[in-house]
Amino acid sequence: MHRQWAELEVWLQNNKPAVLADLNPPADIGEIHNLQSSLKARLPDDFIACLQIHNGQKGEAEPLFDQNAFLPIRPMLMSWSTWSELLEDGDFDGRAARPNGAIKPVWWSPGWVPFASNGGGDHLCLDLDPPAQGQMGQVIRVFHDAADRIVIAPGFGSWFDGFVNNTCS
C-alpha cells in the first residue's frame, strides 16, 4: 500500500496538486477500531493500511477516484448508517437488485462498507457479506436508484493497485 500511495502522490503532485492537498492525514488506530466496532466487522488489512496512510479526502477538491471522492471514516460510517437504517425501516422492501457478479441479490447489505461516493448517493463499497461464490472484501459498485450491483475487483488491494496503475501510466 505504501508503494502505491507513494507513486500516486508523486503523480498527484505533478498533475493535480489540489487533490493531493485535499487528502487527510492518517486515521489513528482508535478511529479504525471504532469503525470496525460500529460495523461489527473486521476490515481487510489492505484497506486498514490505506486508512493508515490517508483517512479519505477533506472534500475541497475534485474526487480522487475518478468521479468518486475517497470518504474519511466519519462520512463512511454515516453513509453506512443511513443505508442500514433505510434497510431496517423497510424502505428497500420489494426492491430487487440485479447483481453482476458474485454479490447477494439485495438492495443493501449491512456488510457493504461505502469507502467512496460520487456525492449523488452511489458508492464504491467493500463487500464484507459476499455469497459463497464471492470474495470477502471484494469491491462493488452500489447505485442508490438503480438495481445494478457490480463487482469491480476481487479485493481492495487489487482495485487500488489497478487505480494507481491506470492513473499514473
Q: Which domains does the chain have, with CATH numbers?
A: 2-168 (3.40.1580.10)
* 90, three cell numbers: 423497510
Alpha-carbon distance of 120 to 53, in angstroms, equals 26
Return the pLDDT at 121. 94
Element (H, E) at 36: helix 29-39
Contact 58, 22 (CB under 8 A): yes
- Helix%, strand%, coil% for the chain, nearest 5: 40, 20, 40
Instruction: Indicate whether 101 pLDDT > 90.
Output: no
DSSP output for 1-21: -HHHHHHHHHHHHHH-HHHHH
pLDDT, average across residues 124-150? 96
Contact 80, 12 (CB under 8 A): no
- For the stretch 27-57, pLDDT in tens is 999 999 999 999 999 999 999 999 999 999 9
- Whole-model pTM: value is 0.96
Phi and psi at residue 144, in whole multiples of 5°? -75, -25
> What value does the mean pLDDT of the chain take?
97
pLDDT band of residue 72 (cuts 50, 70, 90) is very high
Return the pLDDT at 131. 96
